[in-house]
Each structure stands twice: as C-alpha cells, then as structure tokens.
Amino acid sequence: MPSYANLQQFMALVRTANPHYERIERSSLHNIVAGLQQPIPNKQAIQALVVGLPPQKKQKYQQALAFLDRDYLHPPGVVGGVRVMALGPVVPPRPLHVVTPQQRALAGGGQAIVGGTVHDANGPFHGWTEVDNLNRIPGGPNEPRTSAFTPLQIAHLTHLLRAVQQAIDLSLQMLRSTPTLPGDGLPPRPAPPRVLGGPPTAPPVIDMKSRAFVQFFGPCKRDRLKTVTENYAEMQRQLFGARGSNATGLAVVNQSATNSDMAATYRRSIYRPASGQILLIAGSGLFKTAIGQVFKANDNTIGTLIHEFGHACVDASDIPRPVHLQAGQGLDERGMPANGTGPCVNGEHDRQLVAWIFGQPWVGGGTEPHAPTNLQRVLYEDYPLQNADAYGQYALERLVDHLTAKAA
C-alpha cells in the first residue's frame, strides 16, 4: 500500500501551527511524519506516538492532529481503531457442505451425521466436524480436490487435536504463573568485567518462565503478558470451549489427495464460514508426521496447527523476518506481509525477531541485520505479539517440556 495519501494536507496544517517546522531543530512530530512516509504505515504505532505527545505539543498542533485523526487514524466507519465493514475473502467461498454417505462409504467410513460428521464428540474436547467443500473457491481444473477422511486419518487428526488442546492448556498454566520483569521487561545484559580483561559479571538469575516469554513475545511486562494470555484463552475457547454438542468450533476439509501442504486456515478478518466455525484445510503433510510418546523438537505438526489457529482465532499474522523489516517491509493495514518477504516459520526465526527489535543477543544462524532505527522499534514493537508462529512454537515447547519430564 502507498504511504499516507493526504500527507501534504497534514503537513500544511503542521506548518500553519509552526512555520519554522524542523528548520532549526527536530520536531516532536518527527517520528509521526516519518511513520506516515513509510511505504506501509503502521497505524497502531503512529497512533501510539500521537497519544504520547506532550500536552503542550498536542495543543500547538491541535488542528493538524484532529485532521489526521478523522482522516486516517479513526475515519468514519471505524470504531475503536477497527474498521466496521463486512469482512470477506478475496474470492467469496461457497457454503460448506457436509460429507455425504456416498463419500463416507468410498472412504471406508460410517454414515454421515445430519449437519456434518462429528468425530470424538464425547472425547476430551467437543470434537470436530468433517465437512466436504468441493466448491470452496470457484476455480478451474487445478482446484484442490476434497475427499472424505479415512478412519486412519480421522484417528490421526483427532490425536493431533488432543495434543493441540494440551499444548494450549499448558501454555495458559505457565503464562498465568509467569512473573513480570522490572524496568523495560527485558533480561539485563551481562555487566562489564570488574577487572580489565576479566570475565563479565554474571547477570542476575531470571525466572525460566519469564525468559521463555521474552524469547518469543518480547518484554515480559504486565500488558504484554496479559495480551498473550488472552490470545491463548481465546484459542482455547473457540476450539475447545463447548462440549457435548454437534455444533463444534472446528470444521475440517480433507485436501490430502491433491494438496501436499500440512494445514491452512483463513485469518479471522479475511474469512469465517457462515456457520461461525473455524475452517481448517488439511493437506497430505499433516498425515506424514509421526507422533511419538515424546515429541521431538523438529516435530512441528503441533506448532503448525497452533500457528494456523492463531490466524483463525485471534487474527495473528505471518510476520516478516528481521532482514525484511530492516528494509521497511512490514505488514500492510490488513495485517498481511508484503509479497516476496520471508515470514517467521520456526523457533529460531521467532527468537531472532525479538532479538533484533529489542536489542537482545542474536540467536541462531544467518547474518544479523543492522540495528533497527528508533522509529522501526516503535513500528515493530508489537509484531512479536502478532506473530502467529510464536504462538505455535511457544506452545510446542511447553508440550515438549511436559512430555519429556513425564517420560523421565
């Protein structure tokens, strides 16, 4: 998307209030103007900068800021910073269809239940609905073909979803007992050596729960901890909240015959079926990962599913890696990454995102990009909270730790 379209009118009002704008010294509006000049302005960060202006500056630039607010930050049709509009996909999907008895028979399964085939309805969660969506997106002959799940696939997917529920529950347990860190919420760097040439002074011991939070989500402060906890709670509610009902929160379509990916969902702001269910698209990759008694760190099936549920339940995004952010290629106003940018897709990427934004020690491979500018730190400081992959990796690590300790 282009930079702020009405920047010229805004600057005219700024210069009406201050004819000598930045002729002598840097203005208090400097970062706001720089943010509006970005190829993809971050509205949330700009709004935070406006809120943080000193009262006397707000008074001085009252007309300019009022114009910016009604023209860009909160235009008509926007409530609380969220545009009030009928959200739909780029290509409108057609209604979901239940799996027919004929399809069930071809797959070796039983008869379909009216309203959708519900699996594991009496299990530890309220099950999932198997749906057939042959006409999900109008397309040509290359459109992925859907089919009924085989009994083995049903058992495998149910097992995975039970593990997802356990991973989310374990994440919530840990987050609710995670202590915040003082000051900026980050672990202190090692102090310089007391004696020239000697070893650095050991940093204070940090609670491992707080350290784990920082690695994936940034500063362990009360507001950020609350945001992440509420996001996991929302996933738990939407996926596993109601039991004993055929109105399950999750609808799954089987594309494993023609789609080699693992799994996919729509972001909540892009599309949600009229039924209100979360639509999970299962590819053949989902059924190729073996599930052992103890999950290996590279067995990322659970992490991938929670990543996708982050998109569908809390509108989390695929956050570009630091090399792209350093070049100014962040998310657009829809929360989508620019074309050609590589997103964070594993735990190393997620940790590098936090390390780069918040000046923590670089971890893993690859070349560390140049440090972010002060404006970039402001623009990107909430990206770890929006990072779908961080939710998947954090939860996967909690499950791995739990199962490893149980097996010891």
Task: Write out the chain in H/E/C secondary structure.
Answer: CCCCCCHHHHHHHHHHHCCCCCCCCCCCCHHHHHHHCCCCCCHHHHHHHHHCCCHHHHHHCHHHHHHHHHHHHCCCCEECCEECCCCCCCCCCCCCEECCHHHHHHCCCCCCCCCCEEECCCCCCCCEEEEECCCCCCCCCCCCCCCCCCHHHHHHHHHHHHHHHHHHHHHHHHHCCCCCCCCCCCCCCCECCCCCCCCCECCCCCCHHHHHHHHHHCCCCHHHHHHHHHHHHHHHHHHHCCCCCCCCCEEEEECCCCCCCCEEECCCCCCCCCCCCEEEEECHHHHCCCCCCCCCCCCCHHHHHHHHHHHHHHCCECCECHHHHHCCCCECCCCCECCCCCECCCHHHHHHHHHHHHCCCCCCCCCCCCCCCHHHHHHHCCHHHHEHHHHHHHHHHHHHHHHHHHHC
Region 30-52: mean pLDDT is 85
Parent domain of 49:
7-83
Res. 293: pLDDT tops 80: no
**41 or 295: whose pLDDT is higher?**
41
Nearest one of 371, 370, 352, 360 to 190, comparing CA atoms: 360
Question: Any bridge partners for residue 82, and if so which?
Answer: 79
- Per cent of the chain over pLDDT 70 is 74
| Span 212-245, pLDDT tens digits | 999 999 999 999 999 999 999 989 888 887 544 4
Compute the distance between CA of residue 52 and CA of residue 50 in angstroms, rounded to an integer: 5
Residue 47 lies in a domain: yes
Task: Find the range with the poorest average confidence among 19-23, 57-61, 271-275.
Answer: 271-275
Residue 230 lies in a domain: no
Nearest one of 111, 317, 293 to 231, comparing CA atoms: 317
How many structural domains comprise the chain?
1
Residue 379 lies in a domain: no
Residue 60 lies in a domain: yes
Residue 41 lies in a domain: yes
Residue 70 lies in a domain: yes
Residue 218 lies in a domain: no
Region 361-387: mean pLDDT is 88
What pTM did the predictor assign?
0.70
Confidence of residue 176 (pLDDT cuts 50, 70, 90): very high
Res. 134: pLDDT tops 70: no
Residue 369 lies in a domain: no
Task: Find the range with the poorest average confidence among 38-47, 75-84, 242-251, 349-358.
Answer: 75-84
Task: Find the range with the poorest average confidence among 56-70, 220-234, 249-263, 350-364.
Answer: 249-263
